[in-house]
Amino acid sequence: MKKFLLSSYPDGLSRRWAGSIYEAIQELGTWAWRVGSCLGLLGISVEAATIEGRVSLPKVRVAPVINQRYEIIATGGVLGTNPPLAVVYLEGKFAGAATPAVVQMIQREMAFVPALLPVRIGTKVEFPNLDPGFHNIFSFSLAKRFDLGRYRSDEKPVPSQVFDALGLVTLRCDIHEHMRALVLVLDTPYFTITDEEGSFRLIDLPAGAFTLKVWLDSKTIRERPVVLVRDTARRMDFP
Amino acid sequence: MSWIRFILVFLGGWPLAFGSDEFSDRLEQLLTVSTRDGRLRGRMSGTLEIESYAMQLPAPGLLYSESAFLTAPRWNVFLDVQMGAEFYFFAQVRADRGFDPGAAGAQVRLDEYALRFTPWRDSRLNVQVGRFATAVGNWGARHGAWSNPFITAPLPYENLTGMWDTEAVPLSRVLLLWSHVYPGSQGKETLAEKFQRVPIIWGPSYTTGILVAGELGRWRYAGELKLGSLASRPDAWMHGLEEWTHPTVSGRLGYRPNQMWNLGVSASAGPYLRDFATVNFKTGVGRGDFEQRVVAADVTFGWHQWQMWSEVFASRFCIPKIGDVDTVSYYSEVKYKLTPQWFLAGRWNQQLFSTILDRGVATKWGADVWRIDFSPGYRFSAYTQLKFQYSLQHGDSACRDFTRTLAAQLTLRF
Ligand SMILES: [Cu+2]
């Protein structure tokens, strides 16, 4: 049986002490990874690491109110609520993706689905419109500034953007002021989104020393260092 | 004026001070409230607008100024309330210096309020009561400072004709004097006259009434019974209830062949004279005989960074015992987004007048007008926008052939 190693900053320690301990654990983690690799070479079954946990999420957000003063909206102004979710990701040094990923964010019933989308840097996001009317997606965020204009649902190729700079991108619609979505551009292939209870599970993680980060909103990112050894599962909660 | 400077610094500093739209996004969340189950939700939003005009006198269109420079700040507050899927309420309160830009004292008005009932989950039927923009045409739905690429309204919505709503035309010659067709007889336009003359349709025409509207597949319909004709002025909208004996009936039928196109035809009929103008009427002539009848067609097109709007209005003003007079006005407007932040817009407007018999001679009852508007705009953020407009107008001024107007408008949304 192989063991996992996990660490976090002990409370009350000065940043300097915490730094040294962190470095020591990182060193230990690298050794553990080397041991794991050797076991792998020897033909002993090796699996990737897993982190499970739970993040305490902020209070439920109020659903937006659609401005329909001069337009009759087919959905009767009723929107699904987007509960607050968190993005959990592993930060470290990883090899670049061989082929950039392509994911979709759709526009359906006057809303972006999903409303929060974490992607790895270089990912192409397509924006299919499934509504009978136009939308006009744009972003003024520094990490990605664009305006897709108005395009028909049947237009090919589906309008898309490559998110090539790290950071948070707020998507809006020039026609429907209530529409809002976030794209979080990350420098890691290892990320997931929590469920509405805040539970998450990151699988197929490599061994090594990393930082586990939890993105809650543009102002709140929580983090803990973590050293992963192959074929291990670990629980990490962010209460 | 120090307070103007203060407002400019405040508005201009907004995007710089807060760096991003995050502050405004948070404010938006703060101004949205909801019951626990989400069935009753309300949101307050609005715009702060500051407009400045440099014009040649007499002031064109619906600008009320005796000076060549005019600055008009405005604060708009909107309230949107969703009550389940069935009921929707909205209101618009404005604090400014008059409904149309002018030098009047500060005032606060409840310009719009309406309750909409939607019995079915699809939008086949909606019933709305209150005071709200007309369903005629396509400009009413986009007259807000944020979404409109121009600062002034298109010609049919703001070019004052020679027709008055305060007095019935007693003789053809009088109408020709009111409309300055006889040069020198009336001298130049005066500001006082502006409180008498009416356009084909006065801006968004926030009149009181009831609207039945809906969507059936690709078709849209709207029919409204309002207290005040399309030509009626904001002052008359406030006293709408006295109009109940002579309501205005209007409607629009729209068709959307696909996402890019939106076509519509509209019609309207209602008395254009104010009720106090009927005091001296001889027997046999009623207020209802002084009817404004309008037929209109509109088209909207959008594709990629292009948007286009066009409308044509034909209006008849019935004048008992003298004859009917007609006017036709149309415009075509194009907007192109150069970048996510810059846009350019251009608009061609024209208005033509029919003839009236004056001592046996057929004479046009108004001066034909054309106007070109050009507008560049820039969005600093998703909440702050600056627009400029240059307009060149030919006709309708006793002083000169060409009239030029420059305008700037800063809009801050919240
Ligand atoms: Cu939209």
Over residues B188-210, the mean pLDDT reads: 87
Asked if B296 is an interface residue toward chain A (Cβ–Cβ < 8 A), one would say no
Over residues A42-69, the mean pLDDT reads: 78
Nearest CA in chain A to B134: A70
Partners of A62 on chain B (C-beta within 8 Å) are: 29, 32-34, 38, 41
In the numeric block, which tokens belong to residue A38? 């050797």
Q: Residue A62 is nearest to which of B29, B45, B140, comparing CB atoms? A: B29
Q: Residue type at A119?
A: V
Task: Answer for the pair B93, B107: CB distance below 8 angstroms, yes or no.
Answer: no
Count of other CB atoms within 10 angstroms of residue B214: 18
CA B137 – CA B251 distance, rounded (Å): 9
Minimum mean pLDDT among A178-182, B76-80, B184-188, B318-322: which range? Answer: B184-188
Detail the DSSP E strand segments found in B22-105: 32-34, 40-55, 69-83, 87-96
- Interface touch A62/B339, C-beta < 8 Å: no
- Interface touch A146/B122, C-beta < 8 Å: no
User: Residue A77 pLDDT more than 60?
Assistant: no
Q: What is the pTM of this model?
A: 0.87
Task: Answer for the pair B138, B310: CB distance below 8 angstroms, yes or no.
Answer: no
Go through B91-107 and write b for each residue having 16 or more CB atoms within 10 A of its CB, e for each that does not.
Answer: bbbbebbbbbbbbeeee
Asked if B35 is an interface residue toward chain A (Cβ–Cβ < 8 A), one would say no
CA B22 – CA B15 distance, rounded (Å): 10
Query: To which CATH superfamily is domain A49-235 assigned?
Result: Cupredoxins -  blue copper proteins (2.60.40.420)
CA A52 – CA A88 distance, rounded (Å): 10
For B155, phi then psi, to 5°, come to: -50, -45
Give which of B295, B254, B270, B275 is closest to B209, Cα–Cα: B270
Q: What is the pLDDT of residue B17?
A: 47
Annotated domain spans of chain A: 2-41, 49-235
> Ligand 1 centroid to A194 CA: how many Å?
26
Asked if A157 is an interface residue toward chain B (Cβ–Cβ < 8 A), one would say no
CA B232 – CA B240 distance, rounded (Å): 10
Q: Judge residue B308's burial from the number of C-beta atoms within 10 Å of its C-beta, 0-12 exposed, 13-18 middle, 19 or more buried.
A: middle
- Interface touch A73/B25, C-beta < 8 Å: no
Query: End-to-end distance of chain A based on CA atoms, in angstroms?
Result: 30
- Confidence grade of residue A13 (pLDDT, cut at 50, 70, 90): very low
Q: Which residues contact B26 (CB under 8 A, 6 or more apart)?
A: none
Q: What is the pLDDT of residue A218?
A: 86
Task: Please state, rounded to an integer, the average pLDDT across all residues of chain A.
Answer: 81
User: Residue A160 pLDDT more than 60?
Assistant: yes
**What percent of chain B lies above the pLDDT cut of 90?**
66
CA B150 – CA B385 distance, rounded (Å): 12
Please write the tens of the pLDDT for every residue from A78-108: 566 678 899 999 999 998 888 889 999 999 9
Question: Which residues are bridge partners to B325 per DSSP?
Answer: B317
Q: Is A204 left (phi over 0), alpha (psi -120 to 50) or beta?
A: left
User: Residue A34 pLDDT more than 60?
Assistant: no
B11/chain A closest Cα distance in angstroms: 19
Q: What is the DSSP string of A126-150?
A: E--B-SSS---EEE--TT--EE--B
SS3 B185: coil
Give which of B140, B201, B335, B154 is closest to A71, Cα–Cα: B140
- DSSP state, B27? H
In the numeric block, which tokens belong to residue B341? 């932040």
- Confidence grade of residue A16 (pLDDT, cut at 50, 70, 90): very low
User: Residue A26 pLDDT more than 80?
Assistant: no
CA distances (Å), origin B314, targets A165, B272, B308, B329, B353: 54, 15, 21, 7, 10
CA B315 – CA B366 distance, rounded (Å): 13
CA B365 – CA B369 distance, rounded (Å): 12
CATH hierarchy code of domain B23-413: 2.40.160.10
- Confidence grade of residue B184 (pLDDT, cut at 50, 70, 90): low
For B114, phi then psi, to 5°, come to: -160, 150
Over residues B293-320, the mean pLDDT reads: 97
Q: What is the pLDDT of residue A45?
A: 38
- Interface touch B80/A66, C-beta < 8 Å: yes
- Interface touch B82/A66, C-beta < 8 Å: yes
CA B207 – CA B233 distance, rounded (Å): 9
A57/chain B closest Cα distance in angstroms: 17
Please write the tens of the pLDDT for every residue from B230-265: 999 998 888 756 667 889 999 999 999 999 999 999
Q: Which residues contact A18 (CB under 8 A, 6 or more apart)?
A: A9, A10
Partners of A180 on chain B (C-beta within 8 Å) are: 25
Q: Residue type at A1?
A: M
CA A192 – CA A200 distance, rounded (Å): 7
- Interface touch B80/A68, C-beta < 8 Å: yes
Nearest CA in chain B to A78: B85
- Confidence grade of residue A46 (pLDDT, cut at 50, 70, 90): very low
Q: Residue A72 is nearest to which of B34, B85, B214, comparing CB atoms? A: B214
- Interface touch B33/A62, C-beta < 8 Å: yes
> Ligand 1 centroid to A132 CA: how many Å?
11
Count of other CB atoms within 10 angstroms of residue B274: 21
CA B14 – CA B383 distance, rounded (Å): 9
Task: Answer for the pair B319, B325: CB distance below 8 angstroms, yes or no.
Answer: yes
In the numeric block, which tokens belong to residue A107? 């526009």
Nearest CA in chain A to B136: A70
Over residues A217-232, the mean pLDDT reads: 91
Asked if A73 is an interface residue toward chain B (Cβ–Cβ < 8 A), one would say yes
Q: What is the pLDDT of residue B11?
A: 53
Detail the DSSP E strand segments found in chain A: 49-54, 87-91, 102-104, 106-108, 111-113, 116-120, 123-126, 137-139, 146-147, 160-163, 167-173, 180-186, 191-193, 199-205, 208-217, 220-228, 233-235
Asked if A180 is an interface residue toward chain B (Cβ–Cβ < 8 A), one would say yes
Q: What is the pLDDT of residue B165?
A: 92
- Interface touch B85/A77, C-beta < 8 Å: yes
CA B177 – CA A184 distance, rounded (Å): 67
- Confidence grade of residue B302 (pLDDT, cut at 50, 70, 90): very high
Query: Given the structure tokens 């404004």, which residue do they identify?
Result: B292
Please write the tens of the pLDDT for every residue from A184-218: 999 999 999 999 999 999 999 999 999 999 999 88
Count of other CB atoms within 10 angstroms of residue A46: 16
Please write the tens of the pLDDT for every residue from B38-64: 889 999 999 999 999 999 988 888 888
- Confidence grade of residue A172 (pLDDT, cut at 50, 70, 90): very high
Alpha carbon A230 to its chain centroid, in Å, reads 23
CA B116 – CA B111 distance, rounded (Å): 17
Over residues B150-168, the mean pLDDT reads: 94
Q: What is the pLDDT of residue A106?
A: 96
Nearest CA in chain B to A178: B28
Triad B23, B148, B194: Cα angle to 5°: 120
In the numeric block, which tokens belong to residue B183? 């040069």
CA B165 – CA B274 distance, rounded (Å): 6
Please write the tens of the pLDDT for every residue from B96-123: 998 898 888 899 999 999 999 999 888 8
Partners of A152 on chain B (C-beta within 8 Å) are: 258-260, 303
Give which of B406, B397, B408 is closest to B57, Cα–Cα: B397
Over residues A13-37, the mean pLDDT reads: 45
User: Residue B388 pLDDT more than 90?
Assistant: yes
Sheet with A49-54, strands from edge to edge, namely A199-205, A49-54, A233-235
- Interface touch A149/B303, C-beta < 8 Å: yes
Nearest CA in chain A to B41: A65
Q: Strand pairing of B32-34 and B40-55?
A: antiparallel
CA A132 – CA A126 distance, rounded (Å): 18
Q: What is the pLDDT of residue B400?
A: 75
User: Residue A20 pLDDT more than 90?
Assistant: no
User: Residue A39 pLDDT more than 60?
Assistant: no
Partners of A70 on chain B (C-beta within 8 Å) are: 133, 140-142
Over residues B347-357, the mean pLDDT reads: 96
- DSSP state, B344? E
User: Residue A22 pLDDT more than 50?
Assistant: no
